[in-house]
Amino acid sequence: MKRYASWLLAMAAVCAVPAEADENLLGYTTGAEALPKGAKELYQYITLRQDKSVGKYEAVDYKTEFEYGLSHRLSGSIAAKAMSLDTQGLLIDGYLPADRQFSPRLSGIEAGLKYNFLSPVKDGIGVGMAVEASYSWIDPHSGQDKDTLNLETKLLLQKNYLDDTLSWATNLGIEATYAKRGDIANLPAGFDWPTDPEMEIEFTGSTGLAYRFAPNWFAGAELTYQTEFETEIGQERWSLFGGPSLHYGAKQWWATLTWYPQLKGGGETFTGQKSGLHLIEKTEQELRFKIGYNF
C-alpha cells in the first residue's frame, strides 16, 4: 500500500504543470457539465483495489482518456485501459482460479458521449447524461482471459451552493454487460469455471459534496451504492463504498485523490472472508488518483 501511495503522490508532483474546464472534484461522482466547444482535455486515472481478507490481492487499474468538446453542450471521449495484478494464496470458486501476477498491460478500450441539458451555474441546477461503451479482454478480478462488452448510461445531477464554494453531485447509472470467459487448463479438481456467455445488469448510484476551503483547494466526501443482477442467479452482489477526497485545481490542470473503503456489502461470499462485505468482485478498499490537463 505504501509503495503505491508514494508513487501516486510522486506522479502528482511530476504532473504539476500549469489546465481549467470539466474538473472532477470527486473521485467517483462526476458533475453535469460537458467541455465547451473546441476544448480538449486529457485525463489519467489510477485506481488501486486492495485486500479480500484472505491471502494477498492488489490490482491497479489505469485509464488514459481524451475528451473533446463537440459543441457547447456535447463532448465525446475515447480511452485506453490497462491493469496490473498481484494475487497470492487466494482461491475463489468460479472467480479466482489461481495466483496471478503481471505488470501493467493493455486490457480494454472505451468511447463515450456526455450531454449537458442544464448548467448548474447558468440554470441553477445541472442536468446531464453520459453514455459509455467499452470492450475489454482481461477479467478485472482474476486477470484471466475474458471478453466483455459494456454499455452504461448515467444521469448526472449537480447543484452549487454558497457562491459556488460548495458543490453537490449525484449520478444514477445502469450498465448492461455481455461476457465470455476463456478456457483454462489444469484447473483445481472440482473448480467451477463457467465459459458459457453471461448477461448482467448493474445499477449504480453515487452522491457527494465538495467544499472549497482555500483558493484552488476542495475537500470532499462521497458514497457509491452498486448492485448487480446476473442471468440465472438474480441479485448477485451489492456494495456500499464511501470516503474522502482532496482536489486541487489550477488554471490548466487539476488533480483529485480519493480513499474509498467498502462500508457494507452482501451477496455471494467465500470461506474466510470478513462478514458484512462483498469481497468476491469487490475489495476492502480502493485508492484513486485522477489528473486532468486542458489544452
What confidence tens digit (pLDDT) does each residue in 92-139 have? 998 999 999 999 999 999 999 999 999 998 999 999 999 999 999 999
Topology, domain 2-294: Porin (2.40.160)
21: pLDDT strictly greater than 70: no
The domains of the chain are located at: 2-294
Determine the pLDDT at residue 232.
72
Residue 150 has pLDDT above 60, yes or no: yes
Looking at the DSSP bridge assignments, the partners of residue 258 are: 245, 288
Longest dimension (CA), the chain: 63
Residue-wise pLDDT tens digits, 159-202: 999 999 999 999 999 999 999 999 998 888 888 898 999 999 99
The amino acid occupying position 245 is: S
pTM for this model (two decimals) = 0.90
Going by pLDDT thresholds of 50, 70 and 90, the confidence category of residue 226 is: very high
Spatial separation of the C-alpha atoms in residues 139 and 142, rounded to whole Å: 6
The x, y and z cell numbers of residue 275, run together, are 462478514
C-alpha cell of residue 223: 458514497
Query: CA-to-CA distance for 74 and 129, rounded, in angstroms?
Result: 10
Residue 92 has what DSSP assignment? B
Q: What is the pLDDT of residues 57-85, one digit of tens each?
A: 999 999 999 999 999 999 999 999 999 99
Give 62's strand partners: 46, 82
Please report the pLDDT score of residue 10 as a whole number: 42
pLDDT at 15: 41
How far apart (Å, rounded) are the C-alpha atoms in residues 209 and 29?
9
pLDDT tens digits for 128-141? 999 999 999 999 99
pLDDT at 16 over 60: no
Pairing of strands 234-249, 217-230: antiparallel
At 261 the three-state DSSP class reads strand
On whether the CB atoms of residues 183 and 195 are closer than 8 A, the answer is: yes
C-alpha span between 126 and 137 (Å, rounded): 35
